[in-house]
Structure 1
Amino acid sequence: MNRFATFSEFYPYYLGEHANPICRRLHFAGSCVALGFLAAAIVTLNAWWLLAALVSGYAFAWVGHFFFEHNRPATFKHPLYSFAGDWVMFKDMLTGRIRF
């Protein structure tokens, strides 16, 4: 099992686990849906939308890993770094640093 002392060490590994563009697109879509559900939670003051945000975000990502990337999501071994990695990758895709 890979051990990482910092997120900076982890992120290149995380990107390597997301080499397939369809997997990255599914991550991006899941993050967008999750942000929409987060907004719904804030607007409606209904915490159930937070659960929907988590489920949708991970569902899109895991489909990408199991059917396109053919690997296990990094979440299983590195849950906090993986969660942060998803949002950094989302930002990197938005800014054009990583291709869709």
Structure 2
Amino acid sequence: MADRITTYAEFWPYYLREHANPWTRTIHALGTALGLALLVVGLLAGPWWLIPAAVVVGYAFAWGSHMLIERNRPATFTYPAWSLYSDLRMAWLMATGRLGPELAKAGLR
């Protein structure tokens, strides 16, 4: 990626293409779900250390899938806010069965 992306509308298809392998998306969604579960439990019932653990778990799954499966650099390092939002968006679309059309628009099957 030579040029910096300046809008989220440009970023979203790029993000999806960086997650082209279905296993990467699955591992991301699993890490997101586990991270969110730890966050909710940590906020509602404690112990407090579950809150930072939620962040570690979420990113460990995501970054691990980029290193081991996609073999690319996570977009988080360049676009942290858009990447977090996109991870949540992708996980939600996967969970609701609506990711397919988004992948097709990004040029993936």
Q: Tell me the TM-score normalised to structure 2 length.
A: 0.83
Give the equivalent residue in structure 2 for 1:95. 96
Q: Distance in 2 between matches of 1:15 and 1:44?
A: 35
How much does 1:6 deviate? 2.3
Q: How big is the shift at 1:45? A: 4.0
Task: Find the counterpart in structure 2 of residue 16 from structure 1.
Answer: 17
Distance 2:81 2:3 in 1: 14
CA distance in 2, matches of 1:27, 1:21: 10
- CA distance in structure 2 between the partners assigned to 1:44 and 1:23 by the alignment: 31
Q: Offset at 1:16?
A: 0.5
The separation in 2 between residues aligned to 1:49 and 1:92, in whole angstroms, is 26
- Matching residue of 1:72: 73
Equivalences for residues 50-69 of structure 1 within 5 A:
50-69=51-70
Q: Which residue of 1 aligns with 2:5?
A: 4
The alpha carbon displacement at 1:23 in A equals 0.6
**C-alpha RMSD of the superposition:** 1.4
* Gapped regions of structure 1 (runs ≥ 5): none
What percentage of residue pairs aligned between the two structures are identical? 44
Q: Secondary structure at the match of 1:18?
A: coil
TM-score by length of 1: 0.90
**What is the Cα deviation at residue 7 of structure 1?**
1.6
After the TM superposition, which segments of 4 or more aligned residues of structure 1 sit over 3 Å from their partners? Answer: none
Please list every run of 5 or more consecutive structure 2 residues that lacks an aligned counterpart in the other structure.
101-109
